[in-house]
């Protein structure tokens, strides 16, 4: 998938010069304050990052920030610890390697001029606003193995490119929340299907080809014996709304038009304070939404009753993000590794860039499991790439405990966290039972996980957690123990892992 994001540098410089806003979502053009410094979030089309871009991020993070780079659960990157007064320089460095949104040129005013100027022309301010809005709406998730997964029904990379172009070019979409998101599932085995989205589409095979079924809020429905519990929780994300499962199906050529119609419908009908599709469904029926969307397209959008029980029959396997796995093209592999708790330092990102250039196609793909995938590795190069990832400190074997832990920024980076979740997670890794997935959250906001993990440790005091086991509710699940230390949590998790209830 080609890199689609080219931002006007003047817009970047203007936005960087503004004071950080603590309550806003971070973006490339909007540095947000945190306890450990500013956060700059870099949205990656399809999770794709070139080696040159990776090297630029590594260098900029070391020069202008704390040298800490995180892979997010939306397959993006964020630079932490941006130093006061260095925001504009950081953003300019990132924009220079095409890591910004696609916006119109800003009338020839260069970055240096705007950075030094206390006053902005109306046209420059307008360009800056457009750039920031275009950055915010780039929320399309696809499989990190899109176009390469041998099990896929459809290569979604071109459709994702079309959706990103749509989101950035239609002026009205600037009003969408930075959290408003679209899932495009091509039927890959390597797919994250338990993250709730505002609009989701999934490829399905029919007698005369492939269609994309779609729904509003939640995730594609899964077979009863395949990940039923997490999907139930994800669909419960639409709490208070009329979640209706699979609604209808369209041709691949109609996907972009469909998404445009649904987004315009949301903007037409939703209340001024509504930010997510579930808010619209709390006040409008699904049929009313489809009827309104119909005015924007020339193909039928009425609900298809025959799809009421549709489910994605092929299982998704997150283990495929780790180690080496054959791609669709014979003789090529994707090789993946998990940085501890999703964090990279500048030296590690430089090392990944070098591996991608030397052994792959010069790109890497971030994944929504906070891991890294190197695609298009030749068979004879696989051992060297695995060795290189291990040397860089990434876990490539799903048996490694660190690959089963996620944790938020913790109290060293976030004022809302009650404990240092990162340090606690590393302590837990030494005793984590095999195959047990745990999420450590410093507060109830659950920033590190958009899904419900099998087990969640929710901090209640420094080094002290309540333990939850996944259920079908929209929260963390059932609380099975209170006020545990990490050592006590490890003991309890071992007991629960042996219980037949969890078999």
Do both 233 and 326 map to the same domain?
no
pLDDT at 19: 41
Do both 379 and 490 map to the same domain?
no
Do both 49 and 101 map to the same domain?
yes
What lies within 8 Å, CB to CB, of 305 at 6+ separation is none
Cα dihedral 127, 130, 132, 135, rounded to 10, equals: -130
Residues spanned by the domain of 496: 403-502
Three-class secondary structure of residue 456 per DSSP: strand
Measured over the CA atoms of residue 179, residue 104, residue 156 and residue 277, the dihedral's sign is positive
Do both 327 and 303 map to the same domain?
no
CA separation for the pair 377, 130 (Å, rounded): 39
**CATH code for position 19:** 3.30.70
Q: Which residues of 103-113 are buried (b: 16+ CB within 10 A; e: fewer)?
A: beebeebebee
User: Of the candidates 274, 307, 340, which is a domain's last residue?
Assistant: 307
Do both 159 and 296 map to the same domain?
yes
Q: Is residue 301, in this structure, part of any structural domain at all?
A: yes
CA separation for the pair 235, 183 (Å, rounded): 14
- pTM of the full predicted structure? 0.89
Three-class secondary structure of residue 24 per DSSP: coil
User: Of the candidates 347, 366, 398, which is a domain's last residue?
Assistant: 398
Q: Is residue 2, in this structure, part of any structural domain at all?
A: no
Q: 332-337 and 248-250: which strand pairing?
A: unpaired
Q: Is residue 44, in this structure, part of any structural domain at all?
A: yes
Do both 65 and 201 map to the same domain?
no
Q: Is residue 293, in this structure, part of any structural domain at all?
A: yes
CA separation for the pair 229, 279 (Å, rounded): 24
**CATH code for position 287:** 3.30.413.10
- The per-residue pLDDT for range 5-52, each reduced to its tens digit, is 333 333 444 344 344 434 468 999 999 999 999 999 999 999 999 999
pLDDT tens for each residue of the chain, 503 residues long: 333 333 333 344 434 434 443 446 899 999 999 999 999 999 999 999 999 999 999 999 999 999 999 999 999 999 999 999 999 999 999 999 999 987 655 444 344 333 433 345 665 666 667 788 889 999 999 999 999 999 999 999 999 999 999 999 999 999 999 999 999 999 999 999 999 999 999 999 999 999 999 999 999 987 754 443 344 344 443 333 345 689 999 999 999 999 999 999 999 999 999 999 999 999 999 999 999 999 999 999 999 999 989 999 889 999 999 999 999 999 999 999 999 999 999 999 999 999 999 999 999 999 999 999 999 999 999 999 999 999 999 999 999 999 999 999 999 999 999 999 999 999 999 999 999 999 999 999 999 998 899 999 999 999 999 999 998 666 899 999 999 999 999 999 999 998 765 44
Do both 373 and 442 map to the same domain?
no
pLDDT at 129: 72
- The per-residue pLDDT for range 317-350, each reduced to its tens digit, is 999 999 999 999 999 999 999 999 999 999 999 9
User: Of the candidates 338, 364, 398, which is a domain's last residue?
Assistant: 398
CA separation for the pair 68, 80 (Å, rounded): 5
Do both 390 and 330 map to the same domain?
yes
Q: Is residue 332, in this structure, part of any structural domain at all?
A: yes
CA separation for the pair 43, 21 (Å, rounded): 19
Q: Is residue 96, in this structure, part of any structural domain at all?
A: yes
pLDDT at 9: 39
Do both 492 and 372 map to the same domain?
no
Instruction: Annotate 74-139 with three-state secondary structure.
Output: CCCEEEEEECCCCHHHHHHHHHCCCCCCCCCCCCCCCHHHHHHCCCCCHHHHHHHHHHHHHHHCCC
Helices (H), 418-485: 421-429
**CATH code for position 388:** 3.90.480.10
301 class by beta-carbon count within 10 Å (0-12 exposed, 13-18 middle, 19+ buried): buried
Which H or E element spans position 205?
strand 197-206
Q: How many domains does the structure of the chain reveal?
A: 4
Distances (CA, A) of 288 to 158, 257, 262, 280, 477: 30, 18, 11, 11, 33
Three-class secondary structure of residue 167 per DSSP: helix
Instruction: Annotate 344-376 with three-state secondary structure.
Output: EEHHHHHHHHHHHHHHCCCEEEECCCCCEEEEE
pLDDT at 237: 39
CA separation for the pair 476, 478 (Å, rounded): 7
Do both 244 and 108 map to the same domain?
no
Q: Is residue 100, in this structure, part of any structural domain at all?
A: yes
Q: Is residue 214, in this structure, part of any structural domain at all?
A: yes
Do both 159 and 297 map to the same domain?
yes
Q: Is 359:375 a contact under the CB 8 Å cutoff?
A: no
Do both 365 and 491 map to the same domain?
no
């Amino acid at each position: 998938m080609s890199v689609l994001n080219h931002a006007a540098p003047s817009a970047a410089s203007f936005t960087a010069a503004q004071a950080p806003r603590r309550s806003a979502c971070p973006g490339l053009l909007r540095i947000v304050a945190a306890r450990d410094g500013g956060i700059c979030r870099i949205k990656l089309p399809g999770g794709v990052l070139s080696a040159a871009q990776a090297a630029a991020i590594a260098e900029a993070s070391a020069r202008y920030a704390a040298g800490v780079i995180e892979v997010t659960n939306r397959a993006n990157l964020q630079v932490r610890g941006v130093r006061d007064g260095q925001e504009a320089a950081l953003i300019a460095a990132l924009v220079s390697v095409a890591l910004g949104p696609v916006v119109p040129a800003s009338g020839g005013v260069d970055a240096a001029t705007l950075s030094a100027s206390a006053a902005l022309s109306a046209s420059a301010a307008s360009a800056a606003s457009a750039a920031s809005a275009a950055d915010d709406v780039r929320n399309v998730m696809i499989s990190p193995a899109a176009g390469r997964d041998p099990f896929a029904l459809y290569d979604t990379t071109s459709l994702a490119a079309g959706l990103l172009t749509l989101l950035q070019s239609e002026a009205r979409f600037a009003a969408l929340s930075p959290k408003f998101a679209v899932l495009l599932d091509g039927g890959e085995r390597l797919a994250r299907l338990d993250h709730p989205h505002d609009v989701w589409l999934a490829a399905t095979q029919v007698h005369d080809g492939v269609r994309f079924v779609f729904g509003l809020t939640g995730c594609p429905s899964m077979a009863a014996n395949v990940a039923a519990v997490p999907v139930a929780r994800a669909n419960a994300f639409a709490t208070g709304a009329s979640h209706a499962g699979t609604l209808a199906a369209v041709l691949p050529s109609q996907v972009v038009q469909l998404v445009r119609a649904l987004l315009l419908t949301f903007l037409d009908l939703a209340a001024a304070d509504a930010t997510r599709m579930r808010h619209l469904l709390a006040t409008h029926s699904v049929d009313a939404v489809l009827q309104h969307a119909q005015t924007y397209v020339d193909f039928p959008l009425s609900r298809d009753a025959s799809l009421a029980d549709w489910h994605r029959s092929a299982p998704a396997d997150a283990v495929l993000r780790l180690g080496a796995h054959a791609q669709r093209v014979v003789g090529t592999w994707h090789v993946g590794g998990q940085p501890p708790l999703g964090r990279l330092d500048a030296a590690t990102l430089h090392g990944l860039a070098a591996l991608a250039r030397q052994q792959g196609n010069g790109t890497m793909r971030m994944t929504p499991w906070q891991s890294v995938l190197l695609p298009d590795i030749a068979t004879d190069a696989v051992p060297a790439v695995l060795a290189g990832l291990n040397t860089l400190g990434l876990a490539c074997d799903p048996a490694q405990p660190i690959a089963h832990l996620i944790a938020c920024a913790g109290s060293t980076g976030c004022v809302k966290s009650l404990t240092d979740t990162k340090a606690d997670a590393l302590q837990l890794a030494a005793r984590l039972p095999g195959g047990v997935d745990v999420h450590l959250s410093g507060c109830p906001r659950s920033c590190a996980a958009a899904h419900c993990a099998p087990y969640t440790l929710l901090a209640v005091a420094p080094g002290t957690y309540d333990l939850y086991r996944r259920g079908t509710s929209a929260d963390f699940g059932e609380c099975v123990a209170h006020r545990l230390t990490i050592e006590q949590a490890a003991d309890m998790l071992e007991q629960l892992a042996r219980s037949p209830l969890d078999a």
